[in-house]
Amino acid sequence: MNLRTYSTSLLLVLSAVIYAQTSLTAYYSDIDGRKKDNLKLSLGKILANHTKRSYDQLKTDYKSVYVVTGTEEQVYDLYCDKKYNYSSGGWNREHTVANSYWGGTKNEAYSDLFSVIPSDIQSNSYKSNYPPAELSSIKYDTGRIKIGKAVSGQGNGYAYAWEPYDEFKGDFARIIMYVATCYYNINWNSQCPFTKETWPTMDAWLYKLLLKWHNQDPVDKKEIEINEAVFGIQHNRNPFVDYPVLADYIWGDLTSTAFDLQSAVPHQHYNGDIPATAFSVEPTEIDMGYIAVGREHSVNFTVTPLKMVNDIAISTTLGQLSVTSIAMSTTRPTEVSLTYTPEREGTFSGTMTISDGKNVVCVPISGEAYSDTPPAPPAKDNDLFVEVSSEPENWNGQYLIVYKSNQSEGLVMDGSLDTFDGANKSVKAMFINEAIYSSESHDYGKHSFTISTYQDGYCIRSASGLYLGNSSKNLTENPTVKTEYDISLSNGIVRGEYALRYNKSAYMFRFYKSGQEVVGFFKGMLLGDVNNDGAVNQDDLIALESFIHAEASPDYVRAAADMNADGSIDYTDRELLVRIVGEPSAVHHAGSTTSATVGSGSVRYSLSGQRVDDSYKGIVISEGRKHVVR
């Protein structure tokens, strides 16, 4: 199930529900200030204090825990994608960590409601007592897990291993880490990847793999619901669902750091940085993109208080800041603007420093400045992609799928690849006129997707030639029912329960059942196609002249007319377009455009439909004809 970082509102709602049921800080109070082995040992003692369930009781317990949302009888099965009811049979109780690893003794681990979960019988048989691992080949595929040969260095010599689908890797990782923490002191056999010891309890290859899965596929709403349901029956919790970052304090990068329970945020994963207990900064680097020399450009970033102990000071070696200090009493996120006006061409860089005297975050700043007269851009298909801001009649066309980090920059899902949902498989983009411009150095068209009508919805074909499915393993060269989607601005790309989202914490585009960031769409069009007729010609030059003086124009017009992508439409853009289409003659009889003088006081309109006065310069419509007024 996946969901790494919630939007603020969802996080607050879910956290409020959990706190209403039990105080997490009270439950986990004994682990505060501990680290590594002591942290794990203390946590294990908390988890071991629970109500033991019998193996038979699990069948009844499952109806309150492992149910499909909205049903009372349908089994929620992590091991296969079949749909079946409890009463229909065909399922059994599967030990996520094989009970043969401790000789099958019917101890508390044998019937733990967190780790012994419902499974399709056939899938359970395929999984056998094999360990989890990454696979080099596949023998069976259940739709949720795959069974095959483990890669070198994993699997501990077992004939086979099993690997979950990407969207379930975190779920299984957190279950196994729970077992290693709660049952560290049982007698594990010599071949299995567990050892009777306080720390680490798992072989190094295993805990490193589980950490990877844990942070790539974060906690989601379903896991939180299961955690609460088990707590109501068994009276203990899975700490790696409540505080995912605990895994990193026990086995990961933070083993030398004491865990601060008071500043820990429920359901929040480790993002790769030593956590600042006082505040966080987003984004962690600022790319100001391409800026015209002499033109002011601003970008925003956010400082969020977590556990403020001092006032925060903000400074920069480049540009000016709208806010230079944040009071210790601040409880809400503060948005800060960085403004910079380059004085010369070339690349520029600087550093912004945010500090409370104890915690320091340095944010690198970079960009490139150019003159107001860049070379004329080449005329080719889809030089730019314009943001879709209103629901179209249909979605057919070429698009970039984009997560907007802020109003000036974002990340483009990379359609040039054969798989899409891995970390960092995206391309940075800057927004100018609500559009993304290709250049000689970077053609965004190669990252695009083509949306086409298919049956009752749409299919989405990548630039790499594959149709998008709801996982990286569900790609095909031809459209099928598994590649059919509903598309809308509000929900993005949706098929069944899954929607394409961007996970800010895991740095990836992926299909999720809930949460994460909704993606946007930027539709491909021609630079210079000001009248949006699919071609670049002298008619666009006439339209561009009218918009030089227009007070407002549609986004697609501004993007197509801004030939040098400097954020404004002026005669520099006209000259650049002339280089492509040529200078028009003074009189266009066939097009009913004339350079004849318009009578003084005549009613006249610009091509955008605005009424203009005698001082207006450009193309006007008067008495049913177009006139050039210079």
- Residue 464 CA, distance from chain mean position: 21
Tell me the C-alpha distance between 253 and 258, whole Å: 12
Of 472, 449, 465, which Cα lies nearest the Cα of 395? 449
Q: Mean of the pLDDT values across residues 427-433?
A: 81
Q: Are strands 360-370 and 286-292 parallel, antiparallel or unpaired?
A: parallel
Shared domain check, 467 and 552: no
The residues pairing with 350 across neighbouring beta strands, listed in sequence order, are 365
pLDDT at 430 over 70: yes
At residue 236's C-alpha, the angle toward residues 234 and 241, to 5°, is 120
Collect all residues with Cβ–Cβ distance below 8 Å to 609 and sequence separation of at least 6: none
Cβ atoms of residues 609 and 572 within 8 Å: no
Residue 624 forms part of a structural domain? yes
Tell me the C-alpha distance between 130 and 149, whole Å: 10
pLDDT in tens, 211-265: 999 988 888 888 988 998 999 999 999 999 999 999 999 999 899 889 988 778 7
Tokens of 145: 């897990």
Domain of 320: which CATH number?
Answer: 2.60.40.10
pLDDT at 495 over 90: no
Shared domain check, 363 and 413: no
Shared domain check, 209 and 314: no
Collect all residues with Cβ–Cβ distance below 8 Å to 547 and sequence separation of at least 6: 530, 553, 557, 558, 561, 569, 607, 608
Shared domain check, 338 and 457: no
Tell me the C-alpha distance between 447 and 429, whole Å: 11
Shared domain check, 620 and 486: no
pLDDT at 19: 38
Shared domain check, 215 and 143: yes
* H helical segments located in 111-164: 121-127
Question: Omega into 283 within 30° of 0, i.e. cis?
Answer: yes
Residue 409 forms part of a structural domain? yes
Considering the chain, what percentage of its residues have pLDDT values greater than 90? 30
Residue 379 forms part of a structural domain? no
Burial of 344 (0-12, 13-18, 19+ CB in 10 A): exposed
pLDDT at 380: 41
Weakest-pLDDT range from 126-135, 195-204, 453-462: 453-462
Shared domain check, 147 and 68: yes
Burial of 1 (0-12, 13-18, 19+ CB in 10 A): buried
pLDDT in tens, 538-568: 777 777 777 776 555 565 567 777 777 667 7
Domain extent, residue 86, equals 8-263
Domain end position, chosen among 370, 394, 414: 370
Collect all residues with Cβ–Cβ distance below 8 Å to 403 and sequence separation of at least 6: 410, 411, 413, 426, 502, 504, 509, 517, 519, 520
Query: Across the chain, what does the average pLDDT equal?
Result: 80
Count of structural domains, the chain: 4
Shared domain check, 308 and 195: no
Domain of 512: which CATH number?
Answer: 2.80.10.50
Shared domain check, 589 and 461: no
The residues pairing with 149 across neighbouring beta strands, listed in sequence order, are 137
Cβ atoms of residues 619 and 628 within 8 Å: yes
Residue 375 forms part of a structural domain? no
Domain end position, chosen among 370, 399, 417: 370
pLDDT at 596: 43
Domain end position, chosen among 263, 293, 321: 263
* Residue 115 or 455, more confident: 115
Collect all residues with Cβ–Cβ distance below 8 Å to 55 and sequence separation of at least 6: 93, 106, 110, 111, 116
Weakest-pLDDT range from 141-150, 352-361, 407-416, 446-455: 352-361
* Residue 438 or 7, more confident: 438
Q: Which strand (E) or helix (H) includes residue 581?
A: helix 571-581
pLDDT at 611: 59
What's at 467, amino acid-wise?
Y
Shared domain check, 558 and 484: no
Residue 57 forms part of a structural domain? yes
Tell me the C-alpha distance between 33 and 327, whole Å: 27
Of 46, 126, 39, which Cα lies nearest the Cα of 80? 126
pLDDT in tens, 38-63: 999 999 999 999 999 999 999 889 88
Burial of 141 (0-12, 13-18, 19+ CB in 10 A): middle
Tell me the C-alpha distance between 98 and 115, whole Å: 10
pLDDT at 162: 96
Cβ atoms of residues 269 and 223 within 8 Å: no
Tell me the C-alpha distance between 315 and 336, whole Å: 11
pLDDT at 592: 37
Tokens of 248: 């990193």
Of 371, 372, 379, which Cα lies nearest the Cα of 438? 379
* Residue 69 or 518, more confident: 518
pLDDT in tens, 159-199: 999 999 998 999 999 999 999 999 999 999 999 999 999 99
